[in-house]
Amino acid sequence: KQSDDESSEEEDFKLPRNTVKRMRKSEKTLKIETRNQFANLMEEDIDEDHRPMEEEDKQVEGTRTTKTTTKSPAK
């Protein structure tokens, strides 16, 4: 074992092993969920891609903030 003064500092950051495992597991599921959400977002964006570019640029400023809060189609 290490000397007390060395280990006592680290003790705060050490989590029980099963807690770490649980965190890792939930991290994995979170990544999967995020990936799915991202895929959904990409599909939504593709729907809007047929708009002319100039129009897209004008709308970006307005939509970026509202898109997340309101789920109304921009048409």
What is the average per-residue pLDDT within 42-71?
A: 58
CA distance 28 to 22: 10
**Which residue in this structure is represented by tokens 């959904």?**
40
Phi, psi of 30 (to 5 degrees): -65, -45
Calculate the alpha carbon distances from 33 to 21, 38, 46 in Å.
18, 8, 20
What pLDDT, on a 0 to 100 scale, did the predictor assign at position 10?
A: 52
Residue 74 and residue 48 in contact, taking contact as beta carbons nearer than 8 Å: yes
Residue 54: which pLDDT band, with cuts at 50, 70 and 90? Answer: low
pLDDT digits (tens, 9 = 90+) for 10-33: 555 677 778 878 888 888 888 888
User: What is the maximal distance between C-alpha atoms in the chain?
Assistant: 68
